Amino acid sequence: MASKSCPHIKAIRSVRQPERRECEECVKIAATWVHLRTCQECGVTLCCDSSPNRHASKHASASGHPVIASAEPGERWLYCYPDAALAKY
Ligand SMILES: [Zn+2]
Ligand SMILES: [Zn+2]
Ligand SMILES: [Zn+2]
């Protein structure tokens, strides 16, 4: 896994953790997901790009919130969509 940072990731001082272990958008439409990601701007937890609905990616482009963190237990990394940057924390 390549590691690369960007100004958005560098600006994060404390990483937001998921409040719920579910994709808020998938729950509304009774869909399933693969992995969960937490938006570091607003704290919403949504599904990953391997999930059928890719809600985290859609949220990033619709809202302009660039950075998500993995919401999977034991995974400690941040990803910035516009910069395609991935950094461990
Ligand atoms: Zn960035
Ligand atoms: Zn979803
Ligand atoms: Zn957000």
Q: Are 88 and 9 in contact (CB under 8 A)?
A: no
pLDDT tens sequence across 2-11: 678 999 999 9
What is the spatial distance between Cα 69 and Cα 89, in angstroms, rounded to a whole number? 10
Q: How far is the centre of ligand 1, averaged over its atoms, from the C-alpha of 67 (Å)? A: 7
Helix (H, G, I), strand (E, B) or coil at 89: coil
pLDDT tens sequence across 73-82: 999 999 999 9
Structure tokens at 71: 């919401």
Count of other CB atoms within 10 angstroms of residue 86 = 17
Q: How far is the centre of ligand 2, averaged over its atoms, from the C-alpha of 49 (Å)? A: 9
What is the spatial distance between Cα 37 and Cα 40, in angstroms, rounded to a whole number? 9
pLDDT tens sequence across 15-73: 999 999 999 999 999 999 999 999 999 999 999 999 999 999 999 999 999 999 999 99
3 Cβ partners below 8 Å, 6+ apart?
86, 87, 88
Ligand number with the minimum distance to the CA of 44: 3
Q: How far is the centre of ligand 3, averaged over its atoms, from the C-alpha of 74 (Å)? A: 22
pLDDT number for residue 3: 76
